[in-house]
Structure 1
Amino acid sequence: MSKHNLEPMRVRALALRLNGLLEHWDEVGAADWVAPLIQWEEDERDRRSLVRRLRDAHLGKFKALTDFDWAWPKRIERVAIEELMALSFMKDASNIVFLGPNGAGKSTLAMNLAHQALVQGHTVLFATASQMLGELAALDSDSTLRRRLRRYAQPDILVIDEVGYLSYSNRHADLLFELISRRYQNHSTIVTTKRPFAEWSEVFPNAACVVSLVDRLMHRAEVIAVEGESYRLKEARERNEARAQQRKGKKAARAGAGA
């Protein structure tokens, strides 16, 4: 193999900082085992990076999009969601808002988007609004607060789950505004909420920054509405019906045995 053809492999070795191999490149660069070695190292580092980013993302367990029951919601834009999975919205740091009632699948969709970003090499952090804002508001030290704000501001995707399930103080509103401002036009934020933006003044009552907060969050954002009955209630109902059938069968079997 010519030196010209070996150059791409040498560049890959440089990126991996395989200094020992590079020191003897002229001697071994053309050897048959060099290309597999570099590929193994790249694959292993990619694997470790994914494991680390998955751990740091705090996604937890969720239902994969391949198992999502698209027929259950009364309204859902499946084509739009499948297009989002290409992650093109991240190129201009656009935001995504999943809007709908409890249990309709908003968090599942947000987690699938976040997981796809992780697989593609991006950094992600998932947190409920109450967890994140409660943590930030409890910090007394300005330096600690700045460090923690940076933690939430830096990931390529931040998922803020369940905005609107609780009401928050002015301090919580100010902290969320500060965080959204830091991420504005730099990184994408995914929000799940059951409250339309017109009702966010009830989520953050008396907070002066609500209009500005919504304005920055909604600039270049796509809102995906999901409407329908709670899927969790559907699954609970089906489990109860299955148990009732099992008990009915056992009762009939006992009756038959006693006859």
Structure 2
Amino acid sequence: MESVNEEIKQLCEQFRLGGIYPGLQQAVQQAEKDNTGYGAFTLGLLKAEAEHRSRKDRERRLKTAGLPAGADLDNFDTTVDNGLSPRKLSQLRELNWIDQIFNVVLMGPSGVGKTRIASGLCLDAVRAGYKAYFRTMQDIVSTLRTKDAVPSQNTEYRRLLKANLIVIDDIMLFPLQKEIAVAFFNFINHVYENASIVITTNKAPAEWAKMLDDEVIATALLDRILYRCEIIRLSGESYRMKNRKSFFEKQND
């Protein structure tokens, strides 16, 4: 029996059936106890393998998504008045706009929840089975600069080209050099017809030309992003400033 178990283990490793062997002995004992037929027993093993692969796939997609901590919108405080009603947030979380290849622009000052909402939508998309990625604008710039010289960045670039959803956080926070502005336009031009794009920004579209130092590129970029797009203007007091921490103990001075 021991030699049989070892051979089964080796074959599971050879065929990469990581979900079958760990629970095999328990499955055999349960089948003997329940007098399970061969078909039902085999089906149980295959279901275990399917669940194992599904779990591993979710873990892989979550890892490559690059989500910041605290992205889960289930914990989002919908009582805060930031210009996005709970009803609209619920509609966004249904993710129908991804299937329709619609974009979302979250615009507003710092601290009103842009990144929180964008990362939460990305997490929802990953859980729903989409290839979704959260990247800062600086991440994108770094990839564009080095993709032809660094293999890992080339892999990252090709991964983004195959995405269903790309979140770009803090777009146009800093000015872009002409070479990078052109590369960024080419990137958006490659993906906008096949992937939804969520953008967070504190700059109105009219200000993008200044950040790119090129009105033609800015116009062409906005043309692709805004063609099928929902612009959501967030407002209100900065959550971070409202809940600012201090290392001094509260006391009467």
Normalising to structure 2: TM-score of the pair?
0.77
Residue 227 (structure 1) aligned to one of 223, 228, 235: 235
- Who is 1:32 aligned against? 40
Inter-CA distance 115–144: structure 2 relative to 1 (3 Å threshold): closer
* Pair 1:61-2:72 in alignment: no
2-structure distance, mates of 1:123, 1:134: 21
| TM-superposed deviation, 1:66 | 2.5
* Pair 1:71-2:73 in alignment: no
2-structure distance, mates of 1:128, 1:155: 16
1-structure distance, mates of 2:65, 2:227: 25
Paired residue secondary structure (2:200): strand
Whether the 8 Å CA contact 1:137–1:171 is kept in 2: the answer is no
* CA deviation string 1:167-219 (max 9, x = no partner): 11112221111111111221111111111111111221125311010010111
* Pair 1:87-2:95 in alignment: yes
- Who is 2:55 aligned against? 47
2-structure distance, mates of 1:151, 1:29: 44
Q: Which amino acid aligns with 1:118?
A: V
1-structure distance, mates of 2:44, 2:156: 41
Whether the 8 Å CA contact 1:99–1:226 is kept in 2: the answer is yes
* CA deviation string 1:53-78 (max 9, x = no partner): 11111113124223222233342233
Inter-CA distance 100–189: structure 2 relative to 1 (3 Å threshold): same
- Who is 2:7 aligned against? none
| TM-superposed deviation, 1:117 | 0.8
Normalising to structure 1: TM-score of the pair?
0.75
Paired residue secondary structure (1:73): coil
- Who is 2:212 aligned against? 204
* Pair 1:152-2:160 in alignment: yes
* Pair 1:183-2:205 in alignment: no
Paired residue secondary structure (2:83): coil
| Unaligned residue ranges in structure 1 (runs of 5+) | 1-15, 19-27, 252-259
* Pair 1:113-2:116 in alignment: no
Matches within 5 A, 1:127-142: 127-138=135-146
Whether the 8 Å CA contact 1:128–1:160 is kept in 2: the answer is yes
Inter-CA distance 207–147: structure 2 relative to 1 (3 Å threshold): farther
Report the more deviating stretch, 205-214 or 103-112.
Answer: 205-214
Report the more deviating stretch, 33-42 or 169-178.
Answer: 33-42
Paired residue secondary structure (2:243): helix
| Unaligned residue ranges in structure 2 (runs of 5+) | 1-14, 18-35
RMSD, aligned α-carbons: 2.9
Task: Give the paired residue count.
Answer: 222
| TM-superposed deviation, 1:135 | 3.3
* CA deviation string 1:20-77 (max 9, x = no partner): xxxxxxxx98633233323222211111000011111111312422322223334223
* CA deviation string 1:137-192 (max 9, x = no partner): 24565999876542322111111100121111112221111111111221111111
* CA deviation string 1:202-253 (max 9, x = no partner): 22112531101001011111112211111111121xx44x9643x56xx9xx
Q: Which amino acid aligns with 2:59?
A: V
Report the more deviating stretch, 66-75 or 179-188.
Answer: 66-75
1-structure distance, mates of 2:82, 2:128: 31
